[in-house]
Amino acid sequence: MDRYQRQTMLPEVGDVGQQRLAQARVAVIGAGGLSATLLPLLAGAGVGTLHIYDGDRVALHNLHRQTLFGMQDIGALKVHCAQQALARLNPDCRVEAHTAMLTASGVDRALEQVDLVIDAADNFATTWLLSDACQRLALPLISASVLGRQGYVGGFCGGAPGYRALFPQLPRTAANCNTAGVMGPAVAALGAIQAQMALSVLLAHQPSPLGSVTQCDFSRWHFNSFRFDGAEEPVNLLPFIDRQLLCDDDCVVDLRSSSEAPHSVSAHAQRILPADIAGWQPPADRRIVLVCASGLRAGQAAQQLQQRGLLRLALLAANY
């Protein structure tokens, strides 16, 4: 019996849909908790090529939610472990392991040969970067975030509004599962919804999940979804860049103290703490690049500068 028989018997899949999945090329950014569920589902469904990007190694504290890995994988690169696990699951699925996260200078080149992008990194700097790139390249993006027992999955770009149209402001805090905690089943549930959204996009199911968000609250057992097809794209975007995109005439402002980051991203960077941005007199004729660890402080400082009429701004998250 064909391994996909229970799937192809569905009229909305069939042999034509299965062939479409076999030819699909999907980029998955992040090989952690969300991917522990969504990657086996995509490979199991017969997606032809998966490009997985992650530079982290498996740690003991990952295993309660990153169930694609086991004790024997501790210390190994996540993308290599995922590649081996998916090869055992479905050898017909080609898995390309990339041992680094995507950066601003390489994202367009990395995504130009794929059909769909899945954001499983669960940090806002990466999400903004991917959404901006997917808007430029007209690629669909499936993004998810989960914290504690709550999370959401959304379909963006590819003809639908981008992530910034729905979330134009930076989050108030940089809390994530490493700092605030998360429950494994909540992560798995969101990862499964990501996989279903991805397959629905690849199979052109209607209504499309692009332009919609599904919210899951396992603390109150409340679930809902909504569409945002008419959301307007914001103007004066704050782009995320990396070290390779710095220019010689940039005014680089490192918002971290010397004790937090002894070496800045540029030898010519100025050190200005966030509390001192309000009294700083920036140059009017140069691009200002604001640097911090996660991008959160940089984004908040940029908003202050925008209110003063400065528009040539960029953000650099040094830890991503």
Q: What is the pLDDT of residues 28-69, one digit of tens each?
A: 999 999 999 999 999 999 999 999 999 999 999 999 999 999
Q: Give the pLDDT of residue 319.
A: 82
Distance CA 107, CA 239 (A): 13
Q: Give the pLDDT of residue 173.
A: 65
> For residue 311, what are its two tokens?
């528009």
Q: Give the pLDDT of residue 270.
A: 94
315 beta partners: 240, 290
The residue-averaged pLDDT of 294-318 equals: 92
- Reduced to 3 states (helix: H, G, I; strand: E, B; else coil), residue 157 is strand
Burial profile 124-156: b = 16 or more Cβ within 10 angstroms, e = fewer: bbbbbbbbbbbbebebbbbbbbbbebbbbbbbb
Q: What is the pLDDT of residues 90-141, one digit of tens each?
A: 999 999 999 988 999 999 999 999 999 999 998 888 999 999 999 999 999 9
More confident residue, 178 or 20: 20
Q: Give the pLDDT of residue 53.
A: 97
What is the residue-averaged pLDDT of the chain? 94
The residue-averaged pLDDT of 175-198 equals: 87
In the structure, what pLDDT confidence band is assigned to residue 305 with cuts at 50, 70 and 90? Answer: very high
User: For residue 175, is pLDDT > 90?
Assistant: no
pTM, 2 dp:
0.94
Give percent of the chain with pLDDT exceeding 90: 86
Q: Give the pLDDT of residue 121.
A: 94
In the structure, what pLDDT confidence band is assigned to residue 177 with cuts at 50, 70 and 90? Answer: low
Q: Give the pLDDT of residue 178.
A: 62
User: For residue 179, is pLDDT > 80?
Assistant: no
User: For residue 1, is pLDDT > 70?
Assistant: no
Give percent of the chain with pLDDT exceeding 70: 97
Distance CA 106, CA 302 (A): 24
Q: What is the pLDDT of residues 203-237, one digit of tens each?
A: 999 999 999 999 999 999 999 999 999 999 988 88
User: For residue 172, is pLDDT > 80?
Assistant: no
Residue 305, exposed/middle/buried by CB under 10 A (0-12, 13-18, 19+)? buried
Distance CA 222, CA 268 (A): 50
Q: Give the pLDDT of residue 122.
A: 82
Give helix then strand counts, H and E, for the chain: 10, 12
Q: Give the pLDDT of residue 214.
A: 98
Q: Give the pLDDT of residue 168.
A: 87
